[in-house]
């Protein structure tokens, strides 16, 4: 705790989700209780596949509950078992709460859809506890509760019979809110804007239920009044919650609202690739053929409307909206895409199989009676078209399996500490610079050495190198994030003075110009400038070229070439040949020859550079 976010330290109760640790402790308890010969390391490694199995089972149960047929449920389970969007967070060795939270979210939707008649009390309580499990694992709890609240209000204003869903929502609200408020410090459920819609929905449902129990049709409890009162409730709730804990909202809320897009937290998190807006290629990469089957499934749900199909449609479009904002939210969209795609694929399969079966029977009848008619010829043509459609669908499924296996083995299987790429001669290799650099720092620096780096490298320094860091992968102290961003953008002399004032011993930078690693610190430089904000006197345009882009060559900004990050990244790089047939100093990521790197450093001393230049460590001189 005292070795991260120096000098204040990091409050682990507010910035970490304890769901993974709790799940591991529960499994270890059962292993020791029943004297099973299973090592804790194996349990930790298999946590990801266990979460994947739970996601597959939950998808099958949810699809079976909504559709009422085994065909759609089996297809949905098949899609969810191989889809890359879910495999990315549930592979072996992944100790992440995303997979656990996703499986809890799917089962929570299942219990919501199941809560009818005599089962509603037990299902509602289970859904409430699953909300608590989501809250301690990741950020799905906010998405689930807000979506459920909007769905219940939609049923209420639509005039549908939604007594069971209203009851389930109120139980989930009470159980979930009370459990998270009592047991978790990092989820201030009562005083955050992201819970304004559930607060308003619960209040309106409570008023309506009070009028029903009184047995009177009160004018202020009528549907038109509730329709007019909902925006007012949301307005006053948002204003009252504005000064609440967590700077007016939790993590998910301030990541999706446009009015917070310029905040320091958003600027910091947007420097990571998984927090960028999702492109169509990313959707196809993670979902493949489900993108084409989903419109058929939506049409099928709309053509057969009921409360459960409306719930699925709400879930689909809400998760699609979130996944379009950030790449990492595709995991929320994946279960809905699997179920909707399974409904569309099942409708195609059932109709074409039925058509082929009926056509074959008619052809046998005409052949046995030795009759030739236009109807028999048309049926033969329709049968051939149906067979072609079935063959095309089976080919699409085969391509889907091949794509998922390729993505899993090539993209998601390699360790995050070993990057795949090409050397200067064109041969593919794996760069182990991260492991090499962290081992060197751990073995060759003082135990209390303080290492400064950008925010997404801090957790690696703290966990692998066991050194004191100033930032890590959280938004715990935004002013300190701004200070580090300013140091990276300032000239060397001013940056060195600030480093000495902050007690920095070493500065670590990640450089990808030698290995074509695109997610290096130079690529994130503008995000550092934006996070620095008022810490810098110059605007962002001062670091851009005349064309308005960030250039590292002669056409680049002189102010950018004088920044500390540029000086440390390209130090001695002008004499290095990064690619065969290219001049010395060629940056393989930016595609141009770097201009700097020739002048010696005055206030920093290079102490380590990894084999492929991915990690570079500099010591701050004590002048």
336 with 315: CB under 8 angstroms? yes
Q: Indicate which CATH number applies to the domain containing 616.
A: 3.40.50.12610
d(CA 573, CA 578): 9
Return the pLDDT at 76: 92
% pLDDT > 70, the chain: 74
DSSP labels, 462-490? IIII--EES--SS-S-HHHHHHHHHHHHS
433 falls within a domain = yes
Q: What distance in Å separates the CA atoms of residue 22 and residue 389, rounded to the nearest whole number? A: 49
Chain centroid to Cα 348, Å, comes to 31
Question: 180-236: per-residue pLDDT in tens?
Answer: 877 765 555 666 777 778 888 888 887 777 665 444 444 444 555 555 555 555 554
Residue 159, sorted as left (phi over 0), alpha (psi -120 to 50) or beta, turns out to be left
Measured CA distances, 258 to 253, 255, 269, 275, 331 (Å): 10, 8, 15, 14, 21
Which is higher by pLDDT, 183 or 425? 183
- Identify the weakest region by mean pLDDT among 82-91, 204-213, 367-376, 393-402: 367-376
**Among 1-15, 158-172, 203-217, 304-318, which is the least confidently predicted range?**
1-15
298 is a domain residue: no
Question: What digits encode the pLDDT tens for the residues 308-320?
Answer: 888 999 999 999 9
Contact 254, 265 (CB under 8 A): yes
More confident residue, 87 or 255: 87
Q: Is pLDDT larger for residue 33 or for residue 412? A: 33
Virtual CA dihedral for 487, 489, 493, 495, nearest 10 degrees? 0
Cβ contacts of 221 within 8 Å, gap of 6 or more: 207, 208, 210, 211
Count of domains observed in the chain: 1
Q: What is the pLDDT of residues 126-142, one digit of tens each?
A: 999 999 888 888 777 88
Which is nearest to 407 in space by CA: 147, 86, 99?
86
Q: What is the mean pLDDT of residues 482-499?
A: 91
Do β-strands 450-452 and 506-510 pair in parallel, antiparallel, or remain unpaired? parallel
580 vs 427: which has the higher pLDDT: 580
CA distance 204 to 199: 9
438, part of any domain: yes
- The DSSP bridge partners found for residue 24 are none
3-state secondary structure of 118: helix
Total Cβ atoms within 10 A of residue 582: 14
Q: Is the CB of residue 189 less than 8 Å from the CB of residue 132?
A: no
- Supply the pTM of this predicted model: 0.78
Extract the tokens encoding 268: 């910091």
At residue 237, does pLDDT exceed 90?
no
7 pLDDT band, cuts 50/70/90, is: low
Residues 6+ apart with CB under 8 A from 324: 277, 278
In a domain, 583, yes or no: yes
CB-CB neighbours of 22 under 10 Å: 15
The reply to whether 536 falls in a domain is yes
Q: Which residues pair with 420 in a beta bridge?
A: 430
Residue 614 lies in a domain: yes
Per residue, the 3-state secondary structure of 199-258, as one string, reads HHHHHHHHHHHHHHHHCCCCHHHCHHHHHHHHHHHHHHHHHHHCCCCCCCCCHHHHHHCH
**Which residues span the domain enclosing 548?**
429-620
Q: CA-CA distance, 23 to 138, in Å (whole number)?
A: 13
Q: How many CB atoms lie within 10 A of CB 398?
A: 10
Inside any domain, residue 40: no
Asked if residues 111 and 62 have their Cβ atoms less than 8 Å apart, the reply is no
Domain assignment of residue 518, yes or no: yes
Q: Which residues pair with 592 in a beta bridge?
A: 587
Element of type H or E holding 13: helix 12-15
Average pLDDT of the residues in 433-462: 87
Tokens encoding 31:
């292993």
């Amino acid at each position: 705790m005292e070795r991260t976010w120096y000098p204040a330290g990091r409050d682990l109760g507010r910035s970490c989700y304890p769901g993974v640790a709790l799940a591991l402790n529960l499994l270890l308890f059962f292993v020791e209780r029943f004297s099973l010969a299973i090592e804790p390391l194996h349990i930790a490694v298999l946590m990801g596949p266990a979460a994947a199995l739970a996601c597959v089972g939950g998808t099958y149960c949810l699809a079976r509950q909504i559709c009422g047929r085994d065909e759609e449920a089996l297809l949905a389970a098949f899609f969810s078992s191989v889809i890359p969007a879910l495999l990315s967070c549930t592979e072996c060795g992944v100790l992440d709460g995303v997979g656990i939270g996703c499986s809890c979210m799917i089962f929570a939707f299942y219990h919501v859809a199941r809560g009818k008649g005599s089962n509603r009390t037990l299902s509602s309580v289970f859904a409430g506890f699953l909300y608590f499990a989501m809250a301690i694992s990741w950020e799905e709890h906010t998405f689930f509760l807000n979506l459920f609240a909007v769905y219940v209000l939609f049923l209420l204003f639509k005039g549908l019979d939604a007594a069971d869903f209203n009851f389930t929502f109120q139980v989930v609200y009470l159980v979930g809110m009370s459990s998270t408020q009592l047991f978790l410090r990092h989820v201030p459920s009562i005083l955050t804007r992201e819970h304004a819609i559930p607060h308003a929905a619960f209040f309106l449902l409570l008023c309506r239920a009070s009028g029903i129990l009184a047995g009177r049709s009160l004018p202020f409890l009528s549907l038109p009044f509730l329709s007019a009162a909902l925006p007012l409730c949301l307005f006053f709730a948002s204003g009252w919650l504005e000064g609440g804990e967590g700077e007016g909202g939790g993590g998910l809320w301030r990541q999706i609202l446009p009015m917070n897009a310029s905040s320091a937290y958003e600027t910091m998190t947007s420097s990571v690739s998984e927090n960028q807006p999702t492109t169509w290629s990313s959707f196809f990469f993670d979902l493949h053929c489900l993108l084409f089957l989903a419109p058929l499934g939506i049409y099928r749900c709309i053509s057969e409307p009921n409360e459960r199909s409306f719930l699925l449609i709400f879930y689909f479009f809400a998760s699609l909206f979130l996944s379009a904002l950030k790449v990492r939210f595709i995991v929320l969209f994946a279960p809905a895409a699997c179920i909707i795609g399974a409904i569309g694929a099942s409708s195609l399969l059932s109709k074409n199989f039925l058509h082929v079966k009926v056509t074959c029977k008619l052809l046998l009848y005409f052949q046995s009676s030795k009759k030739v008619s236009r109807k028999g010829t048309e049926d033969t043509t329709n049968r051939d078209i149906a067979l072609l459609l079935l063959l095309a669908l089976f080919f699409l499924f085969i391509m889907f399996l091949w794509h998922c296996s390729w993505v899993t083995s090539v993209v998601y299987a390699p360790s995050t500490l070993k990057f795949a790429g090409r050397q200067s001669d064109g041969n593919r290799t794996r760069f182990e610079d991260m492991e090499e650099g962290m081992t060197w720092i751990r073995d060759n620096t003082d135990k209390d050495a303080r290492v400064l780096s950008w925010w997404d490298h801090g957790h690696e320094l703290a966990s692998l190198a066991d050194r004191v860091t100033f930032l890590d992968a959280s938004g715990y102290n935004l002013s300190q994030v701004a200070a580090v961003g300013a140091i990276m953008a300032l000239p060397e002399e001013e940056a060195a003075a600030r480093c000495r004032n902050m007690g920095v011993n070493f500065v670590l930078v990640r450089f990808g110009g030698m290995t074509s690693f695109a997610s290096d610190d130079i690529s994130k430089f503008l995000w550092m400038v934006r996070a620095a904000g008022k810490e810098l006197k110059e605007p962002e345009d001062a670091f851009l070229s005349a064309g308005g882009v960030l250039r590292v060559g002669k056409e680049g900004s002189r102010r950018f070439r004088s920044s500390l990050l540029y000086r440390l990244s390209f130090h001695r790089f002008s004499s290095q040949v990064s690619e065969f047939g290219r001049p010395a100093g060629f940056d393989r990521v930016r595609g141009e020859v770097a201009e700097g790197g020739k002048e010696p450093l005055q206030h920093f001393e290079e102490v380590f550079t990894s084999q492929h230049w991915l990690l570079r460590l500099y010591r701050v001189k004590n002048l």
